[in-house]
Amino acid sequence: MPVRTGVIGVGLMGAEHARLLTDAVSGSEVAAVFDVDPERAEAVAAASGARVFDDPMVLIKDDSIDAVLIASADKTHEQFVLACLAAGKPVLCEKPLTPDVAGSIRIVAAEVELGRRLVTVGFMRRYDPGYADLKAALRSGDLGQALLLRCVHRNAASVPVPSAVLISGSAVHEIDIARWLLDEELVSVTVHCPRRSSNSGDTQDPMLLVFASASGVLVDVEVFLNAGYGYDVRCELVAESGTVLLDSPAPTVRRAAGSLARAVPGDWRQRFTEAYRRELQDWVDAVAAGEPPRGASAWDGYAATVMADAGIRALDTGRTQDAVPRDQPALYR
Amino acid sequence: MPVRTGVIGVGLMGAEHARLLTDAVSGSEVAAVFDVDPERAEAVAAASGARVFDDPMVLIKDDSIDAVLIASADKTHEQFVLACLAAGKPVLCEKPLTPDVAGSIRIVAAEVELGRRLVTVGFMRRYDPGYADLKAALRSGDLGQALLLRCVHRNAASVPVPSAVLISGSAVHEIDIARWLLDEELVSVTVHCPRRSSNSGDTQDPMLLVFASASGVLVDVEVFLNAGYGYDVRCELVAESGTVLLDSPAPTVRRAAGSLARAVPGDWRQRFTEAYRRELQDWVDAVAAGEPPRGASAWDGYAATVMADAGIRALDTGRTQDAVPRDQPALYR
Amino acid sequence: MPVRTGVIGVGLMGAEHARLLTDAVSGSEVAAVFDVDPERAEAVAAASGARVFDDPMVLIKDDSIDAVLIASADKTHEQFVLACLAAGKPVLCEKPLTPDVAGSIRIVAAEVELGRRLVTVGFMRRYDPGYADLKAALRSGDLGQALLLRCVHRNAASVPVPSAVLISGSAVHEIDIARWLLDEELVSVTVHCPRRSSNSGDTQDPMLLVFASASGVLVDVEVFLNAGYGYDVRCELVAESGTVLLDSPAPTVRRAAGSLARAVPGDWRQRFTEAYRRELQDWVDAVAAGEPPRGASAWDGYAATVMADAGIRALDTGRTQDAVPRDQPALYR
Amino acid sequence: MPVRTGVIGVGLMGAEHARLLTDAVSGSEVAAVFDVDPERAEAVAAASGARVFDDPMVLIKDDSIDAVLIASADKTHEQFVLACLAAGKPVLCEKPLTPDVAGSIRIVAAEVELGRRLVTVGFMRRYDPGYADLKAALRSGDLGQALLLRCVHRNAASVPVPSAVLISGSAVHEIDIARWLLDEELVSVTVHCPRRSSNSGDTQDPMLLVFASASGVLVDVEVFLNAGYGYDVRCELVAESGTVLLDSPAPTVRRAAGSLARAVPGDWRQRFTEAYRRELQDWVDAVAAGEPPRGASAWDGYAATVMADAGIRALDTGRTQDAVPRDQPALYR
């Protein structure tokens, strides 16, 4: 009996999730779709054999739906996640959990009140084989303690966005992965602003963020939304006696016209397809087994929002900002 | 309604197929298992929720089975494939289709007699993203005509095998992929025998084969079963104005102790997991849709066996051997 | 008639210079050697056929010496360079020109007073083929304006040093190369201090410096003296539509024991031998031709010292420090 | 006192030698130049301060010349080398020593008659750091015995040449390096001819040669004169428990327009400059010291010619050819 998922929001990201849930995940089907744009919903529904709902709240409550995936606009996440908790349904919510700290606190509070974990936040990098290697290397102890985590997050191009989006929408991935790799909280952040690219309009792009973890590990993150050449995510763990670096895998090397070249991914779909597929498979497996989710929790979503919020304050004030999350409820330990 | 597959033979290869069909393929379940070793069958059945059969012929005919995957000993392939054809069931048979040319001819004849294609041969490299890149590069015409295809096929270690197995069991992969990439038949083969590795006992290992295609492209294949360091499959298409080479992707790079290192896969499961997964997904999708299979056909399996057979004669005689397959029946065009 | 060089200071660095001047540079010979350790001086003199002096000031003035190379302790640089200027002899002084700003100012003043350029500072990276590529890429304009310069400077291991030495002895290389690549001054610096490596004793190691250039380019430099695994210098120029990164060239790739590995250099002699050789050849050629030196000038040495000094203040105070060099004398334009 | 070299033949290759001897080799000067084209001779002489001779035999005998470098047409090598032997002058002769076996035998006989070694053949790859790594790896014994040596030798483009030139002019480099790496003679050769590139006219290009060494190591060499994309020389030593492969070093990596690219050298001058420089420095050092040359000997030149000759017969006949050199005179042991 496959897990019947309802997908709320089928823009670029939600449509990709629906495609993977339909075509590449075992024991899964997309049973329902909602989007503010009905045509978009119809298109995805046609490809997956799903039913189109015109009210996401009705979709969430519908008995034919086992679990919910939320990929709608950030500001709508809170209400949908809370509705899923109220309906007792497992929910995978795209990052960020909420754009604001208060919203994340309300979700955590509701889940704690419920007394069991239903919420997963879509920090899919935890499922990338490269990051898994980094974590295994650190855990093995072979390289000693972590000292630095050097991160780069570049996109080929972006529509105009407020500068804060480089932090809340992009660096938030590095915030989560740093917390997960280092297994501790980040506690402060400084933002450095270089001259802007002439392709970036009024947006402060690129941007350099320097986080410190509770134990003093520095995590620096270059975000560059209009890097031009492609999608490029890097991470190097620098430890006491060695380093481990994400590679840029490409299936082939072409030699032509005086050049030995590998393709750079155009966007996250090429770079992280396998991570998304594994994330969804793991989520579906947990739902099918009635087990708690194993990906990033509501707490992780909250902690990332707290640190992104501090980053935005650091950007606005030009000063280092501290940010310590609240005490972690027992549910998440 | 998932496609219910029966798996015949669950050694290393069949168990991996069963795992992927259960855990990583959409719309699929393993419903039946047979193995000459009942314990092995029980173990796989337990993991996939399948029923254990003690007679593979009964399994093939059982109404609860939609399709059959054969990963048993090479010499048993023919009878099982013929039984699937008799039962009108789609069948994915591990390579080689049969160890001998005569067996492959009988399978092709039976399928032609039936009048529709049910047989797929497990040449999974056709689903590897790297080989797909090579094929796309050649088709685009950007690099001109193909001139050479330079192949390396190394395993970390092997149990003692007859020297012919380097051709029928290993180089047969390159025979198929060369036919598929170049879209033409191979027509002759020469074998060069270097000094043997002291790790290879009486086996002629490594071995260097040089095939020629109908249009004169040379395909050379180094096979080395006891290469020691790991599993390493390479292929470089050399065309008139450039080359495309399979890369050796690894998710991370480690710097430690004076060395910058990437992991080499230990065996085919690490290197070709994605190719196997895509092959199985595509096969299951075609079965579910009632469409003809899209992977390597019985004809491809026959053609590969013809050329492997010529290679073994070249090895035995020390002389170049020609080998032209029969005329291709209309069913396969 | 070869250029006869006197070498003052033949520790690790000076001995390597003497070796290259003797064995690998055209039109050059080492004619004189001084070291505070007479045995060390004798050893180098024996290998190069040079005469040993017991007074460096006498060496500088000796008529048989055409030019002087200074590789003695940092604090002795000023007196020797000033003596060379007084004697009208071309001098190549290892970096830093002087440990303190005041000393560099005195050297610049003396050279301006003299009215012609005799001083070269040993910032040899300007002669590295990789950095030359970066400069050419930037000058071509193909990638747009520079936005970031991302630098890493790691050594395998270090004797205990004051934390300031990470800036004055190591990051000073990046200060010079950034000024040279960007063709503008750096104007401010912030220092971030991660948790220290347990191999680094009381030294703040590693360290992360963030410089800003006059036009707003950010130059970040990770310095790590006890990185353990080897000598690793990286630099990525991030421009508006692409990046250029120093590669880690190694002559061979070894596959063994499950790993594909390239050697990481043990120290600067392996990584930068070609840069040192080109620097010395260019210096000798200019001396032979009676032309002004083409490497880093006394002014460049002064500017690097100013910015290193600001970096040390930033380390000590924990606050961003501005540092603008004086007006550049006409002699250096 | 620098070694005064006379250069005979200053086409592309001889001019590059003259440049290196003048600008990049210690203890060396180019004192004399001869070329069949006087203008070419004048141009090189002007850059190096050399005297132009109009008779190469007079140049060889001139007392002001310490040593001779021959880079004239292949068919003129023999007479010039014999004249150098008659004059008792060290001579570095570009490969091939002679185009024919008989000529090489006469040179060896003359040198044996003289009783001391004066001849060096310009197989400069012995000085390449990559090949040196391969040799060191093999000698260390860490990887076990050599089994295969897999070689690729591609040029960007070529003027029309007879097919035999792919062997006598290109593969001859691999013949020498294989003998040097394996420390044994090659004894047979087979040639495989793929379809020709449409850029190669009537020339059999590319070509695949398979040599066997006395102990049974197979050395395969792909030669492709019109590979289009650049100059690409590869060599992989395959041993019993691992392999070592020449890398394709490039100083930088550029990311732009969806591609991560490294430059491929345009010709041998970029790829092997360091090997040529080291070869010349070592030759000059030996001449200056009055020591026997340390590069490839006249015997090595003869042995390479013997095997190239066998290769040409194999090409012409389509059959494997054996070729065992004569007994090695004591002078060369």
Sign of CA dihedral B9, B12, B16, B22: positive
Average pLDDT, chain A: 97
In a domain, C130, yes or no: yes
One domain, residues B130 and B262: yes
Residues 6+ apart with CB under 8 A from B281: A23, A24, B25, B26, B28
How many residue pairs from chains A and D have C-beta atoms closer than 8 A?
56
Contact D232 A250 (CB under 8 A): no
One domain, residues A197 and A290: no
The answer on pLDDT for C192 being more than 90 is yes
In a domain, A316, yes or no: no
Contact D245 C262 (CB under 8 A): no
On whether the CB atoms of residues D241 and D143 are closer than 8 A, the answer is yes
How many residue pairs from chains A and C have C-beta atoms closer than 8 A?
106
Contact A260 D258 (CB under 8 A): no
The answer on pLDDT for C301 being more than 90 is yes
Contact D260 A266 (CB under 8 A): no
On whether the CB atoms of residues A294 and A286 are closer than 8 A, the answer is yes
Contact C128 D28 (CB under 8 A): no
Average pLDDT, chain B: 97
On whether the CB atoms of residues D91 and D67 are closer than 8 A, the answer is yes
For residue C135, the SS3 value is: helix
User: Which residues of chain C does B259 touch, with a Cβ-Cβ cutoff of 8 Å?
Assistant: 229-230, 259, 261-264
Q: What is the pLDDT of residue C325?
A: 83
Closest residue of chain D to A250, computed from CA coordinates: D260
One domain, residues D143 and D171: yes
Model confidence band, residue D91 (pLDDT cutoffs 50, 70, 90): very high
Contact A194 C215 (CB under 8 A): no
Model confidence band, residue C248 (pLDDT cutoffs 50, 70, 90): confident
Calpha distance D257→B115 (Å, rounded): 49
The answer on pLDDT for D324 being more than 90 is no
Q: Which chains touch C (3 or more CB pairs under 8 A)?
A: A, B, D
Contact A145 C198 (CB under 8 A): yes
Model confidence band, residue B241 (pLDDT cutoffs 50, 70, 90): very high
Average pLDDT, chain C: 97
The answer on pLDDT for C112 being more than 90 is yes
Residues 6+ apart with CB under 8 A from B319: B190
Helices C101-114 & C77-87 angle (0-180, nearest 10):
0
Q: What is the pLDDT of residue B248?
A: 78
The answer on pLDDT for A324 being more than 90 is no
Give the residue-averaged pLDDT of A267-278. Answer: 95
On whether the CB atoms of residues C222 and C207 are closer than 8 A, the answer is yes
Contact A25 B23 (CB under 8 A): no
The edge-to-edge listing of strands for the beta sheet with C67-70 is: C51-52, C28-34, C3-8, C67-70, C91-93, C119-121
One domain, residues B57 and B183: no
Give the residue-averaged pLDDT of D123-150. Answer: 97
Residue found under tokens 């996109």: A155
One domain, residues A61 and A133: no
Of C24, C26, C245, the CB nearest to D22: C26
One domain, residues B246 and B158: yes
Domain range enclosing C150: 126-271+303-319
Closest residue of chain B to C261, computed from CA coordinates: B261
Alpha helices in B229-297 (DSSP H): 268-289
Q: Give the tens place of pLDDT for each residue, A183-193.
A: 999 999 999 99
Give the residue-averaged pLDDT of D139-160. Answer: 97
Q: Is any Cβ of chain D less than 8 angstroms from the Cβ of C23? A: yes
Assign residue A89 a region: left if phi > 0, alpha if psi is -120 to 50, beta otherwise?
beta
Q: What is the pLDDT of residue D325?
A: 83
One domain, residues D130 and D190: yes
- Closest to B71 in 3D by CA, of B20, B116, B139: B20
Q: Give the tens place of pLDDT for each residue, B194-222.
A: 999 999 999 999 999 999 999 999 999 99
Contact B194 D224 (CB under 8 A): no
Q: Which chains touch B (3 or more CB pairs under 8 A)?
A: A, C, D
Give the residue-averaged pLDDT of A106-126. Answer: 98
User: Which residues of chain A does B23 touch, with a Cβ-Cβ cutoff of 8 Å?
Assistant: 26, 281, 285
Give the residue-averaged pLDDT of A111-134. Answer: 98
Q: What is the pLDDT of residue D1?
A: 81
Q: What is the pLDDT of residue B92?
A: 98
Alpha helices in chain A (DSSP H): 12-23, 38-48, 56-61, 77-87, 101-114, 129-140, 165, 172-182, 268-289, 298-317
Q: Is any Cβ of chain A less than 8 angstroms from the Cβ of B289? A: no
Alpha helices in chain D (DSSP H): 12-23, 38-48, 56-61, 77-87, 101-114, 129-140, 165, 172-182, 268-289, 298-317
Residue B62: which CATH number? 3.40.50.720
Q: What is the pLDDT of residue B249?
A: 80
Calpha distance A7→A29 (Å, rounded): 11
Q: What is the pLDDT of residue B324?
A: 79
Model confidence band, residue A325 (pLDDT cutoffs 50, 70, 90): confident
Q: Give the tens place of pLDDT for each residue, C2-41.
A: 999 999 999 999 999 999 999 999 999 999 999 999 999 9
Residue C246: which CATH number? 3.30.360.10
Model confidence band, residue B325 (pLDDT cutoffs 50, 70, 90): confident
Closest residue of chain C to A149, computed from CA coordinates: C194
Burial tier of D68 (Cβ tally within 10 Å: 0-12, 13-18, 19+): buried
Q: What is the pLDDT of residue D100?
A: 95
Structure tokens at B332: 């396969």
Q: Is any Cβ of chain B less than 8 angstroms from the Cβ of A233? A: no
User: Which residues of chain B does A238 touch, with a Cβ-Cβ cutoff of 8 Å?
Assistant: none
Q: What is the pLDDT of residue A258?
A: 97
Q: What is the pLDDT of residue A119?
A: 98
One domain, residues A222 and A110: no
Q: What is the pLDDT of residue D89?
A: 98
Chain A interface disruption, residue of D255, D267, D270, D271, most A CBs within 10 A = D255
- What kind and span of H or E run contains A258? none
Q: What is the pLDDT of residue D249?
A: 80
Q: Give percent above pLDDT 90 in chain C.
A: 97
Residues 6+ apart with CB under 8 A from B203: B158, B160, B161, B162, B163, B165, B166, B196, B225
Q: Is any Cβ of chain D less than 8 angstroms from the Cβ of A232? A: yes
In a domain, B184, yes or no: yes
Of A259, A262, A264, the CB nearest to D264: A259
For residue B308, the SS3 value is: helix
Of D147, D208, D220, the CB nearest to B195: D147
The answer on pLDDT for A144 being more than 90 is yes
Calpha distance C51→C45 (Å, rounded): 6
In a domain, A326, yes or no: no
In a domain, A331, yes or no: no
In a domain, C234, yes or no: yes
Give the residue-averaged pLDDT of C226-254. Answer: 96
The answer on pLDDT for A289 being more than 90 is yes
One domain, residues D96 and D173: no
Q: What is the pLDDT of residue B146?
A: 98
One domain, residues B113 and B185: no
Model confidence band, residue B264 (pLDDT cutoffs 50, 70, 90): very high
In a domain, A329, yes or no: no
One domain, residues D187 and D260: yes
In a domain, C31, yes or no: yes
On whether the CB atoms of residues B212 and B218 are closer than 8 A, the answer is yes
The number of domains in chain A is 2
One domain, residues B61 and B180: no
The answer on pLDDT for A249 being more than 90 is no
For residue A283, the SS3 value is: helix
In the stretch 142-201 of chain C, residues with CB closer than 8 A to chain D read 142-143
